[in-house]
Chains A and B, each alone.
Chain A
Amino acid sequence: MADYPIHEFDVLVVGAGGAGLRAAIEASKAGAKTAVVTKSLLGKAHTVMAEGGMAAAMGNADDRDNWRVHFADTMRGGQYLNNCNMALHHAKEAPARVHEMEAWGAIFDRTKDGRINQRNFGGHRYPRLAHVGDRTGLEMIRTLQDHGIHQGLEVFAETTMVRLLMDGGRCAGAFAYDRERGRFMVFHAKAVVLATGGVGRSFRVTSNSWEYTADGQALAYNVGAALLDMEFVQFHPTGMVWPPSVKGILVTEGVRGEGGVLKNKDGKRFMFDDIPDNYKPQTADNPEEGWRYTQGDKSARRPPELLTRDHVARCINREVKAGRGSPHGGVFLDIAWIGKKIPNGAEHIKKKLPSMYHQFKQLADLDITKEPMEVGPTTHYMMGGIQVDADSQMSTVPGLFAAGECAAGLHGANRLGGNSLSDLVVFGKRAGEYAAKYAKSNGATKLNMSDVEETAKWCLTPFERGAAGENPFAVQSELQDVMQNLVGIVRVESEMQQALEKIEQLRKRAVKAGITGNIEYNNGWHTALDLENMLAISEMIALSGIERKESRGGHFRDDFPEKSNEWAKYNLRLTKGGDGKPSMERVPVVPLTDEMKQIIEEQKS
């Protein structure tokens, strides 16, 4: 038997974005010996790309805000498929998590009286997002990273988890390799927290990086954990569309929060044409009122550009399909126009949206203070994921926890912008806390070394096939086209069935992936190993998408374009069946308490 290093820890955290770092800080604070394993270098995880801000009802910019409003906004945005208990924890605890970031060195933008400023965002009734220009994610990850390194976390950078290891029914660690040398290693732990992020790399047009290959979801599923809400993928309404090589790169919702408007090629603000009934009482019906709202007028209602992401994305899609789009297949997003409304407009835009200014100037030769941007929907976020307990974040597998994007529940059918950064720290903290407790009260696990041997052997098979095997990049690229074209923003049953067939064909090719060169920093090899997870989760997105015969949130069916009262009662749950195939069941949505019902009712007007 080969001799792999075995690292012993109380708590193993997989992923070093906001959720992973926050979990590790908490576990380590509780006295647990804690490791963080991250696919990239420390500080490069996807959190770094978050732009707009972190939602927390502190009431600094509008004192009418409080956790009750935030809770109701989150539930309505998620079309009531959310786990209401998670939504409640989130709304109540987010302000404390923001303040804690400040105590750890984060510097948010300020209000005039010196408190943390908050900005408008889609689906949030009041200005609620603590932010730093349009680089809030960077602020967050750097703060957690810098705080964490002084707390004795052990970080294994550029290390990728390949399998979770089990001790009977309990999670006992993970098998991993380091990118640089390609060496295998074993993490032996008493509790494991997954914080591996999303799945966006399986789509052609995406704001997600190479890391987002559904590792956490797929590996948890493989060891028996249940997945929930896999049909709900968020397509962010505004990604770049031109030039082609930058298609999909995110354009923050903060642009609209600061007064940016969406127009079609005729110069029409088309969002006024389609305002859902449940948002009508709170939405402006003319441009002037919308403008006043973005400038802090408390008597004004919000502009329709700040409706929820699922809705705005679909409206943009409709304009483009109807031939009213911009030259490169998007619509126009205009922030330059506010230059006429306020003094020093260009400087104001640069100060509020520095990265956007920079990004368009450098990548598209476009000055956003002078011209409108061209934008269109881009795959952005996974609402579904590992089913977890609302309090502890433990999955259905004992000892295995999940937090952040790879977990399901908080966002239901559609996530509100800004609720992700707060999700990461609220539930990252909970996961770390409960994982440490679990580790302490449940003691050591036993490793099954034959699993380790088997995994190591599997990892090396692409080298055996060498250049004669399938090109892993080609398989990945074809999967991206399949998901983009057949399981994208508008879905129909026949296309999703077709996607399933194609995924099956790709799977046959993926197991024949071959790679040349050696095991040291070999991106082709890494891609070959990622394919299995990407294909497994893509299949589950399509399966769940076929099953849910209605349109709700991020899931829009052209063949069932309406919401159904029957489907409002269920979440879809997937587990690995006895035959090794996914088995799907409808589970009732977590019931609201009477107090929650009352809060939702009082916030409807």
Chain B
Amino acid sequence: MASATFRIWRGERGAGKFVDYTTEFEEGMVVLDMVHKIQANSANDMAVRWNCKAGKCGSCSAEINGKPKLMCMTRLNQLDLTQPVTVEPMKTFPHVKDLVTDVSWNYRVKKKIQKFTPRPADAADGTWRMQQADVDRPQEFRKCIECFLCQDVCHVLRDHDKHDEFIGPRFLIYTAQLEMHPLDTGDRLKALKDDFNIGYCNITKCCTKVCPEEIKITDNAIIPLKERIVDEYYDPLGKLFKMFK
């Protein structure tokens, strides 16, 4: 059996250091398997957050060799095992312990977004009619597993620490999903512009690159939202048109 060295961040509340663990591995293993193996054999108290181990729950987000990834979906054969593999917690969120960070800010942000408000039912039995073609786009955004890797990599949050002013890619697609939902009657454009500062995003597409669900965050959600805001608030011809309407 071959072995590999994993260099894992150990420590609490921001303080800590990398610790090397050399462990044997077998075919098909993912990074989370290695972390579990190390935890079970030589580091029982190591903190790691995980649930489904199948890329469906978005719990085991970390930075592997510096890249934001799900540990359960990163196979060892994708990594250079001649060098130690580094595994660190996400940087954008407050550190708790070892590989675990405090992601509660995300849950607070979501509460601030106006909730889904459907139009009255289409049929007498209280149901609605929607065509598949009209729901394909919001369904794409609803694939989000809330791993928060897009938030981790977004420079507005990661480098500029604008957590109080900017909601990040996760919640821009969340809002886009509501805005593009065929049944929803809410209007979140003003909030996007003034409170959530969508303008801070300068479409570098880092979020799209790390999305494990391959959601086209920038192209399909953020840019269309920016366009809607321009149409609504910054288009002089449109303004004139509205004035005389």
Interface residues of A (CB under 8 A from B): 40-46, 48-49, 99, 102-105, 107, 109-110, 113-116, 132-133, 135, 137-139, 142, 146-147, 149-150, 155, 157, 180, 209-211, 242-246, 249-250, 354-355, 358-359, 362-364, 471-474, 477, 515-518, 520-525
Known A245-B29, A358-B55; contact A105-B181, beta-carbon cutoff 8 A: yes
Interface contact A523-B39, CB-CB below 8 Å: yes
State which residues 103-148 of B face A: CB under 8 Å.
103-104, 107, 110-111, 115-116, 118, 126-132, 135, 138-139, 142-143, 145-146
Interface contact A362-B55, CB-CB below 8 Å: yes
The contact of B142 among A44, A107, A523, by CB within 8 Å, is A107
- For B75, the chain A residues whose CB sits under 8 A away are 362-363
A93–B107 Cα gap in the complex (Å)? 31
Given contacts A146-B116, A524-B45, 18 further A-B contacts (CB under 8 A): A44-B58, A49-B56, A103-B126, A105-B183, A107-B139, A115-B127, A116-B127, A132-B142, A138-B142, A138-B143, A139-B142, A142-B142, A249-B53, A363-B73, A364-B28, A477-B40, A517-B45, A525-B45
- For B52, the chain A residues whose CB sits under 8 A away are 44, 46, 48-49, 209
- Of B1-9, B15-23, B93-101, B187-195, the segment with at least 4 beta carbons within 8 Å of chain A is B93-101
Chain A CB within 8 A of B87 CB: no
Known A150-B115, A211-B51, A245-B29; contact A102-B59, beta-carbon cutoff 8 A: no
- For A354, the chain B residues whose CB sits under 8 A away are 143
The contact of B54 among A139, A146, A250, by CB within 8 Å, is A250
A362–B28 Cα gap in the complex (Å)? 10
19 residue pairs A–B, Cβ–Cβ below 8 Å: A42-B107, A44-B59, A48-B145, A99-B126, A104-B116, A105-B116, A107-B130, A109-B132, A138-B143, A146-B116, A147-B116, A180-B96, A180-B100, A245-B33, A364-B28, A472-B44, A473-B41, A474-B40, A524-B44
Number of A-B contacts (CB under 8 A): 172
- For A520, the chain B residues whose CB sits under 8 A away are 12, 47, 96-97
Interface contact A471-B26, CB-CB below 8 Å: no
The contact of A210 among B51, B131, B132, B145, by CB within 8 Å, is B51
- For A243, the chain B residues whose CB sits under 8 A away are 26-29
Q: Which residue of B lies closest to A150 (CB)?
A: B115
Chain A CB within 8 A of B102 CB: yes
The contact of A146 among B39, B98, B100, B115, by CB within 8 Å, is B115
Chain A proximity of B143: nearest CB distance (Å): 7
Q: Which residue of A lies closest to B74 (CB)?
A: A362
Interface contact B51-A523, CB-CB below 8 Å: no
State which residues 149-163 of B face A: CB under 8 Å.
none
Known A180-B96, A471-B44; contact A249-B28, beta-carbon cutoff 8 A: no
Chain A CB within 8 A of B81 CB: no
Known A363-B75, A364-B28, A521-B97; contact A249-B54, beta-carbon cutoff 8 A: yes
Most B-side CB within 10 Å, residue of A48, A49, A516: A48
Chain A CB within 8 A of B46 CB: yes
Known A157-B104, A209-B52, A520-B97; contact A40-B59, beta-carbon cutoff 8 A: yes
Interface contact B57-A49, CB-CB below 8 Å: yes
- For B27, the chain A residues whose CB sits under 8 A away are 243-244
- For B126, the chain A residues whose CB sits under 8 A away are 99, 103
- For A103, the chain B residues whose CB sits under 8 A away are 118, 126
- For A524, the chain B residues whose CB sits under 8 A away are 39, 44-46
- For A522, the chain B residues whose CB sits under 8 A away are 44-45, 47
Interface contact B57-A363, CB-CB below 8 Å: no
A109–B135 Cα gap in the complex (Å)? 8
A355–B56 Cα gap in the complex (Å)? 8
Chain A CB within 8 A of B48 CB: yes
Q: Which residue of A lies closest to B12 (CB)?
A: A520
- For B181, the chain A residues whose CB sits under 8 A away are 105, 107
Interface contact B129-A135, CB-CB below 8 Å: no
Q: Which 9 A-B pairs have the closest CB atoms?
A: A243-B28, A517-B45, A524-B44, A114-B129, A105-B116, A473-B40, A521-B47, A110-B132, A521-B97
Known A102-B128, A244-B28, A521-B98; contact A473-B33, beta-carbon cutoff 8 A: no
Q: Which residue of B lies closest to A134 (CB)?
A: B56
Known A49-B52, A244-B27; contact A515-B45, beta-carbon cutoff 8 A: yes
Q: Which residue of A lies closest to B36 (CB)?
A: A473
A354–B139 Cα gap in the complex (Å)? 12
Interface contact B73-A362, CB-CB below 8 Å: yes
- For B48, the chain A residues whose CB sits under 8 A away are 523
A179–B40 Cα gap in the complex (Å)? 18
- For A147, the chain B residues whose CB sits under 8 A away are 115-116
- For B56, the chain A residues whose CB sits under 8 A away are 48-49, 135, 137-138, 355
A135–B146 Cα gap in the complex (Å)? 14
- For A245, the chain B residues whose CB sits under 8 A away are 26, 28-30, 33
Q: Which residue of B lies closest to A477 (CB)?
A: B40
Interface contact A44-B45, CB-CB below 8 Å: no
A355–B213 Cα gap in the complex (Å)? 9
Q: Which residue of B lies closest to A99 (CB)?
A: B127
Interface contact B116-A110, CB-CB below 8 Å: no
A138–B57 Cα gap in the complex (Å)? 8
- For A355, the chain B residues whose CB sits under 8 A away are 55-56
A44–B52 Cα gap in the complex (Å)? 8
Q: Which residue of B lies closest to A364 (CB)?
A: B28
Chain B proximity of A466: nearest CB distance (Å): 11
Q: Which residue of B lies closest to A525 (CB)?
A: B45
- For A358, the chain B residues whose CB sits under 8 A away are 55
The contact of A209 among B12, B40, B53, B127, by CB within 8 Å, is B53
- For A249, the chain B residues whose CB sits under 8 A away are 53-54
Interface contact B130-A114, CB-CB below 8 Å: yes
Q: Which residue of A lies closest to B73 (CB)?
A: A362
Interface contact A210-B50, CB-CB below 8 Å: yes
A103–B12 Cα gap in the complex (Å)? 43
A242–B29 Cα gap in the complex (Å)? 10
Known A211-B51, A362-B75, A520-B12; contact A515-B44, beta-carbon cutoff 8 A: yes
Chain B proximity of A183: nearest CB distance (Å): 13
